[in-house]
Amino acid sequence: MVLFDTNAVLRYILQDNLEMAEVVEQQMSNFYRCVPVEVIAEVVYVLSKVYKVEHNIISQTIINFTNTDKIRIIHSDVVRHALEVFVSSSLDFVDCLLVGYAKEKQYSVFTFDKKLQKYLQ
């Protein structure tokens, strides 16, 4: 198994460097690839803060990117839940992931953040 890093995912999604995007596509077609939750979090951060992409577009983009049998997201159920919360809330994505872990994996989350606590109930 080979892990994709944030830069590889961003080049493929943004198509801002066609050479790199093509290499990523070749990697996707030749080998089984995995994207860790941490990479998804960083991709969401870059797309929202640097590129100012709307939350619903980010969510759909990540779903489209991973909607293939060649790409697997570690804890995809948590990420999908987090993307749903991200679109419908003002939480940052890492907090959305915590909600996803709580709801999908039944993890307890300890926090002083009142806004996050609301989504954990």
Nearest by Cα to 79 from 67, 70, 69: 67
Ranges of each domain in the chain: 2-120
Cut 0.85: pTM above it: yes
Spatial contact of 34 and 4, defined as CB atoms under 8 Å apart: yes
* pLDDT score of 7: 98
Task: Decide if domain 2-120 falls under CATH 3.30.1280.
Answer: no
> Tens of pLDDT along the chain (121 residues)?
889 999 999 999 999 999 999 999 999 888 778 999 999 999 999 999 999 999 999 999 999 988 888 889 999 999 999 999 999 999 999 999 999 999 999 999 999 999 999 999 9
**33 has which bridge partners?**
2, 71
* pLDDT score of 67: 86
**3 has which bridge partners?**
34
